[in-house]
Amino acid sequence: MGHGESGYPRSAQACALAEAKAALRGRVLAARRALSGDARAAAGRRLRDAVLAAPEAQMAGTVAAYVSVGTEPDTRGLVFALWKRGTYVLLPLLRPDGDLDWASYEGPESLAAGPRGLLEPTEPPRGVTAITSADLIIVPALAADRRGNRLGRGGGSYDRALARVGHGILTIALLYDGELIGPDQAVPAGPQDQPVRAVAQPGEGIIRVR
């Protein structure tokens, strides 16, 4: 069995990383559940306005985004506004292997129930590499830090998708206020975790982190 830089077996390091992520994930999810529906909707509107005002969003021909579920900041207004102003919007399709396929958004009626409570586009899938055509990528997150490390739900789907994205493409994680950690703290991250280059918060707008 190999050892990591700390001298501990890699399996022990992996367990410690998973536990640290789970602990932070639990705290963030509890705080999100305490938010009212009105607070989540208001946060979504402010995030929508911040993203729409970004130069990268105004110039983007194609944007990869997602439809929020549960206690996530609402993205339906953002996705609709991007589409209405002529942007080609790609939304994810969760594959059985946990990877993300992509299909186009053609308005609210083009969405249908998918696995794990997700809403997914009903247009034909374009393949896992379709994300590489996006000029801007908007991703879900539970927390992020000033280095761009992002905490997701734990499935690794977005890490696999973001690994395909070029270094010059802006990736933005949508957060509530208080979910950007630091500067003296960090989101637990391993070698497979893909960082983002910016975060958006309702109160502060878009913050470049890488």
Q: Enter the tokens of residue 140.
A: 């879900």
Query: What pLDDT, on the 0 to 100 scale, is given for residue 155?
Result: 87
Domains in the chain and their CATH numbers?
10-208 (3.40.50.10420)
Question: Are 82 and 59 a contacting pair, CB within 8 Å?
Answer: no
Query: What pLDDT, on the 0 to 100 scale, is given for residue 125?
Result: 97
Calculate the dihedral angle through the C-alpha atoms of 172, 74, 153, 187, rounding to the nearest 10 degrees. Answer: 50
What pLDDT digit, counting tens, does each position of 127-182 carry?
999 999 999 999 999 999 999 999 998 889 999 999 999 989 999 999 999 999 98
Preceding peptide of 202 cis, ω within 30°? no
How far apart are alpha carbons 130 and 148 in whole angstroms?
23
| Bridge partners, 140 (sequence order) | 174
Residue 35 has pLDDT above 60, yes or no: yes
Other Cβ atoms within 10 Å of 178 Cβ, number = 11
